[in-house]
Amino acid sequence: MSGKIELNQQYWAILKDKSALAGITLDDKISQEDFRVYGDRLAERQISMFERFGASPLATSTIVDVGCGLGRISLPFSKRFKKVTGIDINRRILDAGEIYCKEASNIEFIENDGKTIPLPDASVEYSYSGGVLQHIKEIDVILGYFREGLRVLKPGGTLNFSIQTWMDDVIVGHNIGKKVTVGNLETVLSEFDCQVLALIVDPRDPVPHMNVIVRRIAMDGARPVKVDQSLLQEQPVRTGIWEDLPSYANFKALWARPPRAVTFWDR
């Protein structure tokens, strides 16, 4: 597909030259079995958020999984949702995903341009993105995905997108995405008639992430959205699900580092 966005070069090289699995975990040594167990557990954490904050029963709902990769999360989602549409910029990873998810008949994979969701307006009940936006180096593309994630939601639908909240526009390891601030989020959400239901953070995560949970209220209209710390809720998200998996040894080393400072609230 032409007209794709440019990914940061380091991440693009991983997607291009290393295994599909390394493209997802940044680690070639993770076993298929541990990969699946981790994915199932992480997906359950996300599903618990949809069950808590969603308005439509999952079993009759469609979810779009933006930056789905191999379908590590799409596959467990497919057992709980009626349909999963997985969108990803990388054809090679999607091809591997078709094999990884071959047991599921309700997942559709679509290659995209790296910035839009090729679905009609108001066509799904849920939109999800996890572990993706931190790899994007342009703030407009990141915010564009929030816009797209809300656009494709039916009224009453729920968005759950994760961002990393420690970034500072500097090159650090593999994560060379862009800093997202509270002001950025307020600007894009204020283009819609929507409500932020919660900002979920895992207090034990040394690489701070936040799941932004938003309800789309109505199709038309826009109203100012205020995002503040009263929306924060603590919940285990990425901790307690990999520590017993033998091949996640590299995670142990990475997570032993001092926690990163959160930059998201910088105004």
Ligand X SMILES: C[S@@+](CC[C@H](N)C(=O)[O-])C[C@H]1O[C@@H](n2cnc3c(N)ncnc32)[C@H](O)[C@@H]1O
Contact footprint for ligand X (CB under 6 A): 5, 7, 15, 23-24, 67-69, 72-73, 88-90, 93, 112, 114, 130-132, 135-136
DSSP 43-61: HHHHHHHHHHH-SS-GGG-
Of the pair 130, 149, the CB lying nearest ligand X is at 130
Order of strands across the sheet that contains 124-129: 107-111, 83-88, 62-66, 124-129, 153-164, 209-218, 193-201, 232-234
CB of 24 to ligand X, least distance (A): 5
> CA 84, CA 96: separation in Å to the nearest integer?
17
Residues 139 and 144: their CA atoms lie apart, in Å, by 8
Nearer to ligand X among residue 131 and residue 208 (C-beta): 131
Classified as helix, coil or strand, 62 is strand
Closest separation between CB of residue 69 and ligand X, Å? Answer: 3
**Least Å from the CB of residue 208 to ligand X:** 16
Which of 135/154 has CB closer to ligand X? 135
- Position of minimal CB gap to ligand X: 69
With respect to ligand X, which residue has the nearer C-beta, 110 or 217?
A: 110
Q: Least distance from C-beta 114 to ligand X, angstroms?
A: 4
Residue 194's CB is within 10 A of a number of other CB atoms, namely 25
